[in-house]
């Protein structure tokens, strides 16, 4: 019996044993191209004829660009499924997948713990204003602490309101991890969760109210045409003055230029960010602001979750 052809976009860094076990049933094909134009030409030239499934990593966006109608039209008609080893699906133009009858899959739950853990770290670092002291110690250990002393930090306790923007798996996980701080929790989704047990004791409020009431606003929404710049200049102005904003979702959910402006005016008190609007580029205003606690998209850099991603897909 002939083997099924599978196109691999990106490289396998973990779960090698699992992938090796597939060799008896699949023929693994890799592209020669390194950019979108060449990849589409390779498709049109018949290099991938007979491929039934495609497995892609996040970094393969450099090869294909966004998986939109142009790219899907170039694929052989034999392709039935494209699997992504990540939680987000913003690289997929979903209507085009429907048009071409191609199934798209991802692995959202594999990273719930890792992302929520990172959100907690960013929240505490941003509230406590750890960045200037961290940089002073690591860059000039003989000084020990920065001089002049940075602004005093804030505690998560003390009756603060935690607002969750996007109460999916990661949002709910984050709420559970924040329980020891005894914060009042509110949330906003497109619609209220149907099962009260999934609300984790949080109160559903409107979009405007989650902005106005939150002392800490944690962002957990996917990036799509409706959520791009969901938090812009107008929305940031609606927030409680001095709000701490945490974003472990996608950078472009927040208008980065507006965020920098709000930080500089102290409308936003501090931010904890693991994602950026134009990764790997980071807005200069964030790099210069000591109240911006930043990580270079590290929430999923854990061996266990990388393996779970690849095994799950």
Catalytic residue among 70, 157, 266, 279: 279
Catalytic residue among 250, 283, 291, 305: 250
Q: List Cα–Cα distances, 96 to 57, 91, 132, 171, 252, in angstroms.
A: 20, 12, 46, 28, 22
Task: Assign 3-class secondary structure to the chain.
Answer: CCCEEEEEECCCCCCHHHHHHHHHCEEEECCCCCCHHHHHHHHHCCCCCCEEEEEECHHHHHHHCCECHHHHHHCCCCCCEEEECCCCCCCECHHHHHHCCCEEECCHHHHHHHHHHHHHHHHHHHHCCCHHHHHHHHHCCCCCCCCCCCCCCCCCCCCCEEEEECCCHHHHHHHHHHHHHCCEEEEECCCCCCCHHHHCCCEECCHHHHHHHCCEEEECCCCCCCCCCCECHHHHHHCCCCEEEEECCCHHHECHHHHHHHHHCCCEEEEEECCCCECCECCHHHHHCCCEEECCCCCCCCHHHHHHHHHHC
Is 91 annotated in the active site?
no
Is 250 annotated in the active site?
yes
Catalytic residue among 100, 229, 297, 302: 297
Is 297 annotated in the active site?
yes
Joined together, the tokens standing for residue 255 give 């208008």
The number of residues making up the chain comes to: 313
Catalytic machinery residues: 250, 279, 297
């Amino acid at each position: 019996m002939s083997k099924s052809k599978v196109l691999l976009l990106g490289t396998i860094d973990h779960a090698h044993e699992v992938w090796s076990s597939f060799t008896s049933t699949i023929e693994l094909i890799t592209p020669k191209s390194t950019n979108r134009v060449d990849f589409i030409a390779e498709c049109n030239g018949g290099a991938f004829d007979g491929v039934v499934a495609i497995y892609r990593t996040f970094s393969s966006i450099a090869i294909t660009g966004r998986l939109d109608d142009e790219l899907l039209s170039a694929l052989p008609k034999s392709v039935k499924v494209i699997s992504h080893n990540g939680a987000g699906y913003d690289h997929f133009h979903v209507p085009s997948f429907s048009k071409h009858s191609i199934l798209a899959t991802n692995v959202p739950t594999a990273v719930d713990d890792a992302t929520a853990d990172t959100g907690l770290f960013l929240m505490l670092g941003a509230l406590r204003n750890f960045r200037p002291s961290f940089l002073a110690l690591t860059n000039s250990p003989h000084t020990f602490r920065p001089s002049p002393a940075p602004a005093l930090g804030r505690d998560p306790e003390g009756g603060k309101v935690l607002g969750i923007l996007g109460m999916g798996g990661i949002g709910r996980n984050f709420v559970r991890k924040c329980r020891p701080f005894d914060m009042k929790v509110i949330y906003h989704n497109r619609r209220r969760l149907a099962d009260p047990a999934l609300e984790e004791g949080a109160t559903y409020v409107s979009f405007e109210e989650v902005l106005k009431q939150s002392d800490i606003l944690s962002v957990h929404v996917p990036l799509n045409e409706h959520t791009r710049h969901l938090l812009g200049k107008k929305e940031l102005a609606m927030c409680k003055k001095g709000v701490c904003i945490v974003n472990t979702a996608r950078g472009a959910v927040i208008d980065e230029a507006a965020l920098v402006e709000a930080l500089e005016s102290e409308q936003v008190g501090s931010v904890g960010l693991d994602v950026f609007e134009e990764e790997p580029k980071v807005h200069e205003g964030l790099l210069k602001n000591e109240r911006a606690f930043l990580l270079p998209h590290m929430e999923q850099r854990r061996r266990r979750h990388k393996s779970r991603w690849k095994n799950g897909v």
